[in-house]
Every structure is written in structure tokens, then in C-alpha cells.
Amino acid sequence: MYLESSIGTSRVKRGLADMLRGGVIMDVVNPEQAKIAEDSGAVAVMALERVPSDIRRDGGVARMSDPEMIVGIQKMVTIPVMAKSRIGHFAEAQILQALDVDFIDESEVLTPADEANHIDKWAFTVPFVCGATNLGEALRRIGEGACMIRSKGEAGTGNIVEAVRHLRTINAEIRRLHTADSSELYTLAKDLGAPLALVQEVAELGKLPVPLFCAGGISTPADAALVLQMGAEAVFVGSGIFKSSDPERMARAIVEATTHYQDASVLARVSTGLGDAMKGFETSTLDQRFAERGW
Amino acid sequence: MPRVGVLALQGDVREHVSVLKVLGVQVSTVKTREELAEVEALIIPGGESTTMSHLLEISNLRADLSERLADGLAVLGTCAGLILLSKNISDGRSDQWSFGALDVDVRRNGYGRQVASFETLVEVAGIGKVQSVFIRAPRIERFGSDVEILASLDDGDGPHPVLVRQGAVWGCSFHPELTTDSRIHGMFVESIDASR
């Protein structure tokens, strides 16, 4: 069709991740929420049946969403629609690709399907995002073909502490590589459990070769500004919007805070009179830590 | 050298800044009215057009930018930037607005959703073949007689323009900022110099 053209190249897949930078990706469970998200300036929506805080409350096995619900959301909005597959569940990913979703999140929020292997993401045309708690995990996912990394945080808690821990860890490990002597990179690659070529690339670039976003616990405009100032390039907000007392207002405030994250006067204005943020959990009381899923 | 701004509300701002720096241009990012007032030309980057139009309004930039465009500001819009500069938009939100600075009508995601996104070579007038990356790209489906076509692509449905220019306003369906080739930005920067 096109002269020497190709679909699904790394540049095309990582390119969409680049287009989402500086934006807010919002979890939505129905077309009405998707509309509110788009109206509020979301850069993409994540279509799922239950937000993480409800998955946490309900227990049981959490799986890919019903295609009918995903298609309903695709019809409602013009922005990219993402959906989650279970870790290692490549058949769910095949289904999501057949539905023309724009991005797949191989997510620890769902119940893992494979305790040893993640999905071979190079086999897909659709781009993937994966979570990571440290640099080795991030580079293993990129080695498998992930086009975007999100620090995991602890989804469904409304508590930013784990997201901060994971972002700080990833950034500190990147700085370590960036200042390392080239002869040290072999042992550092072994210690990180990461492919040598990617370790060398990060050492050279001083950053990941794909965008680094932040997820898991962002529930206020100030939370978004915090992680962006720490180097996250965009934010995922899950339960934080639709579990707050005024979702539309919270959504708009987090979008504005994400653009003007360095301007404290804007942050003060958008943080004023927002109503109640989601209640949230103190993470030390959790029975199940989603962030521990993935290998 | 002109001072070129890159609209930095959302999207792949950094890539445009890098290309402009390679070209030796003085670059600044634009998030506020004050920052917009200081630039002599502007790039509207790739990203989500609905998000950028929302942010243009809440950041009080819509009226100012509209005025600058009417005054002949040199602007290059890539992908979402092209959508924002166009006259009419189809397959967008029902309330989606645009500046109408470029006499073209675009269809959002006119080349398909992400799984249909692609890269290919296109022949650009004056510079030759350019590797071009189309990501959920808008398709130009109508253009006025004052619009100069600098590159077209035939996707099986006849050739459609993918790089156009109308006076000081440039629009591009693809992302010249995603490759290391700086020639399209170079053409745009030269056109600013020529018009001063």
C-alpha cells in the first residue's frame, strides 16, 4: 500500500508513548466516565471493569475486561483507549490487539497468569506499557518489548509513598549507570538482571530509552506535581479520580497540575476546594501488594 | 536567528526542542501568555489535540495565539498541531474547535488507530525523500487554493497532502521531530528568516 512502509515498528510504538507525555491517563469503568475524562483533558483512558481499589476490596481473580465494555468506551471518546491484560497472558493481549486498543498495560493489578514469564511484546503491533519497581525490572520489560514504563507504586491505595519509592529507586539506579565506568557495566548488568545492551544504552543516555510514567497512588494535584518534579513524564490516575467526591473537578485539577507542575501558584489554585480525595490505605496494613507481582 | 517557541502544554515537546537546537536556533518552551509574547515563531507539537485545546483555554492562551496567528505568526504544527491549525475537523469531538489558520479540513485518526500507525518514505519538495512517522495521524481531506502542497502520500485512496504550507503557517500529518532528520524544521526556520 505505502512505499516501503511498515506498521508496528519500535519508532511507531514508542512514538505514541512520546505523544502522551505531559498528560494524564485516567482509569474509567464505563463510557460515561470516559466522556468525563476526555472532557477534563485526559490524554488517554484505561478501560477496565473495576478500578484497583475495588479489585483490592472485592478479591478474587481479576481478568481482562469484557470486550463489549472496551468497545463502548472506544465509541465514546476520540483519545487513545488502553486496556489491561494479566501478566504473561498473551491470549488476552491478542484479543485486546484484535479489538484495536491503542496501548496494552500488562498489569500487576490483574491476577498474574504466568509466574515466570511476561508476554513477548515484540510479537505485537500494539504498544505495551509495563510496571516496574526498580531499574532491572524496567529494563527486563523493555527487553521484552515494552514501549513505556510506569513506576508501579501501589495501585488502589491513594497513597503516594510507594510511587515515590519506585521513582526514586529507578532514577538513582539510572544515575549510577550514567556515572559508571564502561568496564563496570558488565557487573552492573548482572546485578540488575538486565540485558547488557540496554544497560549500556541507559548509561549513555542517562535516561530510559522509552518514556517513564508514574502510576499507583496519585490522588491529588499535588501528588501529580510531586512525581513530575521527580522526573516522571506523565501520570496514570486510577482510583484517585472516580473515588473522589467530585470526579470531574478532581480530573480537571490533576490535568492542569500536570501541565503546570512547576508553578506553585497554579497548584495552589487548582488544589483549592476540591472536596474529598479518595480515602485510601496506609500501605503497611495491606494484605496484598500488587507491586510484588511481576519478575 | 529568530527565537522559536515550542508550545509545551502536552506532547513531544522535547523532540522539537532538540531538533531546533541542532539547527542552532534559539528555543524556548511556551506554557503562558508571557512566554508566548516573547517568541517570533511557534511549533505546536504532537500530542492529543483535545487535551491541548483544553489546556489552551484554561491557560488563557487561545485568544492570544489566535491574535498572533492573525498577525502572521510563523507556525509549524505537527500531527495534533496540524489539527489545531486546520479549518474543519471530522471524527473529532462534536465541540472540538481549531484556529482555522490553515485552509485545510482534516479527519482525526484518518489513517487508522494505533495498530495501523506506520512509518514510510515521502518525497518532500525541495529536499527529497524523508522518513516519516505517522501515529494516529490526521488526514488532510480538503485544501484551499492558497495551500501549497509540499508532500503527499497515496494510501491506496489517491494521494493526500501530508506536508502543507499557507504563507507563514505550516502543517504536517506526520512527526518530523521523531527522526534525526532536521530538514523539514530547517525549511520552516529558513522561511521565518525570509519573511523578516
Q: Distances in Å between the alpha carbon of A249 and those of A61, B10, B77, B130?
A: 32, 20, 30, 44
Q: What's the CA gap between B123 and B144, in Å, rounded?
A: 21
Mean pLDDT of chain A: 95
What's the average model confidence in pLDDT over A85-110?
A: 98
Nine cell digits for residue A275: 472536596
Task: Check CB contact of A183 with chain B, cutoff 8 Å.
Answer: no
Residue A21, chain B, CB below 8 Å: the answer is yes
A78 near B CB under 8 A: yes
For A77, nearest residue in chain B (alpha carbons): B93
No. of H helices and E strands in chain A? 13, 9
Looking at beta carbons, which residues of chain B come within 8 Å of A16?
A: 114, 117, 135-136
Interface contact flag, A16 B136, Cβ < 8 Å: yes
CATH number, domain of B123, equals 3.40.50.880
Q: How many CB pairs under 8 A join A and B?
A: 131
- Judged by a CB distance cut-off of 8 A, whether residue A256 touches chain B is yes
Q: Is the dihedral of CA A220, A223, A225, A228 positive or negative?
A: negative
Of A158, A292, A149, A275, nearest to A219 by C-alpha is A158
Task: Give the global pTM.
Answer: 0.96
pLDDT of residue A279: 84
Cβ atoms of A145 and A122 within 8 Å: the answer is yes
Predicted confidence at residue A23, as pLDDT, reads 98
DSSP lists the bridge partners of residue A289 as none
A-interface mutation test, from B33, B35, B51, B113, most A Cβ less than 10 A away:
B51
pLDDT in tens, A137-196: 999 999 999 999 999 999 999 999 999 999 999 999 999 999 999 999 999 999 999 999
Please count the CA atoms within 13 angstroms of the CA of B91 that sit on its side-chain side.
Answer: 20
| Window from A44-58, A81-95, B77-91 with minimum mean pLDDT | A44-58
**Res B157: pLDDT:** 85
Q: What is the tens place of the pLDDT at every residue in B118-130?
A: 999 999 999 999 9
Which residue segment(s) compose the domain that B131 sits in?
3-195
Q: What is the pLDDT of residues B129-164, one digit of tens each?
A: 999 999 999 999 999 999 999 999 998 889 999 999
Question: Could you tell me if A1 lies within 8 Å of chain B, comparing CB atoms?
Answer: yes
The confidence score (pLDDT) of residue A3 equals: 45
* Percent of chain B residues topping a pLDDT of 90: 94
Considering CB atoms only, which of A16, A43, A127 is closest to B10?
A43
Task: Tell if the CB–CB gap between B51 and A255 is shorter than 8 Å.
Answer: yes
The mean pLDDT value for A68-85 works out to 98
DSSP, residue by residue, chain B = --EEEEE-SSSSHHHHHHHHHHTT-EEEEE-SHHHHHT-SEEEE-SS-HHHHHHHHHHTT-HHHHHHHHHTT-EEEEETHHHHHHSSEEESS-TT------S-EEEETTTT-SGGG-EEEEEEETTTEEEEEEESS--EEEEE-TTPEEEEEEESSSSEEEEEEEETTEEEESS-GGGSS--HHHHHHHHHHHHH-
Separation in Å, CA B47 to CA A5, A15, A37, A177: 22, 10, 16, 30
- Neighbouring C-beta atoms of residue A205, cutoff 10 Å: 12
Q: pLDDT grade, residue A285 (50/70/90)?
A: confident
Given A84, A121, A152, A243, the catalytic residue? A84
Q: Which three-class secondary structure state does DSSP give residue A120?
A: coil
List Cα–Cα distances, A200 to A116, A136, A177, A203, B80, in angstroms: 25, 13, 8, 5, 34
Grid cell in block for residue B1: 536567528
Q: Is A15 on the interface with B (CB under 8 A)?
A: yes
Tell me the per-residue pLDDT of B69-82, one tens digit each, with 9 for 90 and over.
Answer: 999 999 999 999 99
At A33, which helix (H) or strand (E)?
A: helix A31-39
Residues of B in contact with A148 (CB under 8 A): none
Residue tagged active-site, from B15, B16, B160, B177? B177
**What is residue A1's predicted lDDT score, i.e. its pLDDT?**
43
A264 contacts chain B (CB < 8 A): no
Contacts of A203 (CB under 8 A, 6+ apart): A177, A178, A180, A182, A185
Query: In the predicted model, is pLDDT for residue B11 greater than 90?
Result: yes
What's the rounded Cα separation, in Å, for the pair B56 and A104? 29
Cell numbers 490483574 correspond to A110
Residues of A in contact with B156 (CB under 8 A): 1
Predicted local distance difference test score (pLDDT) of residue A295: 85
Q: Phi first, then psi: give them for residue B8, nearest 5 degrees.
A: -120, 40
B177 has catalytic annotation: yes
Q: With contacts defined as CB-CB under 8 Å, which chain B residues touch A19?
A: 11-12, 46-48, 79-80, 135-136
B51: nearest CB among A3, A5, A41: A41
**Residue B173 pLDDT exceeds 60:** yes
Query: Does residue A2 surpass a pLDDT of 50?
Result: no
Active site residue A84: yes
Number of domains into which chain B is organized: 1
Give the CA-trace dihedral at A265, A270, A275, A278, to 10 degrees. -100
Q: In chain B, what residues touch A18 (CB-CB under 8 Å)?
A: 12, 15, 46, 178
pLDDT for A29: 96
Q: Closest Cα of chain B to A124: distance in Å?
A: 9
pLDDT in tens, A213-222: 999 999 999 9
Residues A221-234 have a mean pLDDT of 98
Q: What Cα–Cα distance (Å) separates residue A73 from each residue in A35, A77, A122, B97? A: 8, 6, 26, 22
| Residues of B in Cβ contact (< 8 Å) with A1 | 155-156
Q: What is the pLDDT of residue A4?
A: 54
> What are the DSSP E strand ranges found in chain A?
6-7, 24-28, 44-47, 81-86, 103-107, 128-132, 148-151, 212-214, 235-237
Shortest CA distance from B45: residue in chain A: A19
Long-range contacts of B23-27, Cβ-Cβ distance < 8 Å, separation of 24 or more: B23/B182, B23/B185, B23/B186, B23/B189, B25/B1, B25/B189, B26/B1, B26/B2, B27/B3
Distance CA B69, CA B49 (A): 18
- Grid coordinates belonging to A121: 511484546
Q: Return the SS3 of A88.
A: coil
Taking the CA atoms of residue A274, residue A280, residue A284 and residue A290 in that order, the dihedral angle to the nearest 10 degrees is -120
